[in-house]
Structure 1
């Protein structure tokens, strides 16, 4: 019984404290991604992103590293343009950690349902990063990846680490069908 009392709250804590990033993507099914080998950043789009200049640099460095790792090259006459957009919102997570227990014994409540618990309130910022891939010739959006998750605001290293994770998870779905190979 004591093992159950320890295991359930621990399991609950693990699942509620996960820093997962939710990723979705969409693309133009008529676009040919096989001939998209070079990229450049789309400055007008990036300038509009509501994020600090330091975070823009971090995001752009992470995108560049991921695309180069996929075999693409940065170019002044690119096949695709990369733009980004960000959103954030404050979230509150409330957990009621009751110590549910079972018991057997004499007295007023022999089944001992319930128990004392603690209310945990966690406030955090949830960020969403949109990465747009635009056909440079047609000036049309051909792929979009979106990642949402909790942001780490602690220090520059943790922030950069989190941004790298966001970008890696989003671009794992680019180009379409690449994760099936």
Structure 2
């Protein structure tokens, strides 16, 4: 029973990652770098073990795609994949949280009174605040780069968005785009401590 519950939880957790990339306006992207880190000294990377998205001890279709997309982003910046002695550990995490939006806005309604003088009903407006409550699921996807020697986080990129539905054929491509949008905020190339101008994330 415990294994079944754990599997279901993991499936739901990883399943939203594809949905996150399906948001109509794209997820919100942010990043932060350690100003004291020597980025010029980083030339290789490998994946942290165990990955946060594989904490159950096995890979999934979604985690494999996230790893492939992240690896492509790192290698496009000149980093070499080195499982034995990397300069950087790359970790991937994903989680979701139920959220509530409460929106109040002015509205008008009418009371009707019969006027004996006018011999008809008269509409009298009155104003009030209308409150709507919306429930939704917010997903967060983040990539951490950790200095392997110091075991210290030196950069993280985060995407946050509402979980939305998408056609299966669109999900993989949008997931790749979401990963690219996150790494567009990573301004360094392998062996270079000089930031390059990052590509603006997709709006």
The answer to whether the superposition gives a TM-score over 0.5 is: yes
- Of 139, 142, 166, which aligns to 1:154? 166
Other structure's SS at 1:137 match: coil
1:21 maps to which residue?
Answer: 27
Residue pair 1:33, 1:175 contacting (<8 A) in 2 also: no
1:38 maps to which residue?
Answer: 44
1:107 maps to which residue?
Answer: none
Q: Is 1:70 matched with 2:82?
A: no
Query: TM-score, normalised on structure 2?
Result: 0.58
Residues 1-181 of structure 1 mapped to structure 2, 5 A cutoff: 18-46=24-52, 47-48=54-55, 53-76=60-83, 77-90=85-98, 125-151=137-163, 153-175=165-187, 177-179=195-197
Q: 4+ residue stretches of structure 1 with deviation over 3 A? A: 89-95, 122-126, 150-157
RCO (CA 8 Å, sep 6+): is it higher in 1 or 2?
A: 2
Name stretches of at least 5 consecutive residues in structure 2 with no aligned partner: 1-22, 104-133, 189-194
Query: TM-score, normalised on structure 1?
Result: 0.64
Per the TM alignment, residue 29 of structure 1 is displaced from its structure 2 partner at its CA by: 0.6
RMSD of the alignment, in Å? 3.1
* Aligned CA distance change for structure 1 residues 153 and 72 (closer, same or farther; 3 Å): farther
* Aligned CA distance change for structure 1 residues 57 and 89 (closer, same or farther; 3 Å): same
Per the TM alignment, residue 55 of structure 1 is displaced from its structure 2 partner at its CA by: 1.2
Residue pair 1:21, 1:169 contacting (<8 A) in 2 also: no
Deviation sequence 1:109-130 (CA, Å, 0-9, x none) = xxxxxxxxxxxxx976432111
**CA distance in 1 between partners of 2:165 and 2:198 (Å):** 34
Name stretches of at least 5 consecutive residues in structure 1 with no aligned partner: 1-16, 96-121
Structure with higher Rg: it is 2
Residue pair 2:157, 2:182 contacting (<8 A) in 1 also: yes
Per the TM alignment, residue 154 of structure 1 is displaced from its structure 2 partner at its CA by: 3.3
Between structures 1 and 2, the one with greater strand share: 2
Deviation sequence 1:147-174 (CA, Å, 0-9, x none) = 1124454344322122112111111111
**CA distance in 2 between partners of 1:20 and 1:163 (Å):** 11
